[in-house]
Amino acid sequence: MAAPTRKRLFDIVGESKNAADGTPRQHLLARVDPADAVTLQRQPENPYDPNAVAVLWEGRDIGFLPREDAATIAPALDEGRPYAAHVHELRGGVKGYTSYGVKIAIAWDGKPLPPAKPLDEQQERSRRGKLAAMGRERDATGAFAGDSPKGGCMGVLIAVLLVGTAGVYSFV
């Protein structure tokens, strides 16, 4: 039986919205790795698209197939066609392109998935920072709560100068 489409790679949409449980999808995507398995879930009651196909990672929705692709794939899912799917590529997540975009790969009827595209070095560095910052609370100024104010080198220099000049004037 022929696959529902020759296309194997699909961008997903809605990554900037919240998942069904209220979690920002961008927070979920910061934990997703290329080659992670995803499942496709039909949502025929979706008020925006009766052919809607949600993309789930670890049971949580990270976005949807675009309307045109969903219209092609929904009938195959409704028929119970066997498929495999994984995250093919994560884009963005770096300075200048802070939001993640996702491309998934789908293979039908036992065919192999194309290899996933690994994160580049800049994405890896950015991800480590994002994951370290997630879950930490911020105060009203936007600084991480519990962090001590940082004077840095300039603060030390000023302190040394003030102490030094105070000592000079006490001898005069």
Lowest mean pLDDT segment, chosen from 44-53, 77-86, 93-102, 110-119: 93-102
Q: What is the pTM of this model?
A: 0.76
CATH 3.30.70.2330 matches 9-135: yes
Can you give the three-state secondary structure of the chain, one letter per residue?
CCCCCCCCEEECECCCCECCCCCEHHHHHCCCCCCCECEEEECCCCCCCCCCEEEEECCEEEEECCHHHHHHHHHHHHCCCCEEEEEEEEEEEECCEEEEEEEEEEEECCCCCCCCCCCCHHHHHHHHHHHHHCCCCECCCCCECCCCCCCHHHHHHHHHHHHHHHHHHHHC
Q: Give the pLDDT confidence of 34-73 residue by residue, as tens digits.
A: 999 999 999 999 999 999 999 999 999 999 999 999 999 9
What percentage of the chain exceeds 90 in pLDDT?
62
pLDDT at position 124 is 87
Confidence band for 79, pLDDT divided at 50, 70 and 90: very high
Averaged pLDDT for residues 141-170: 58
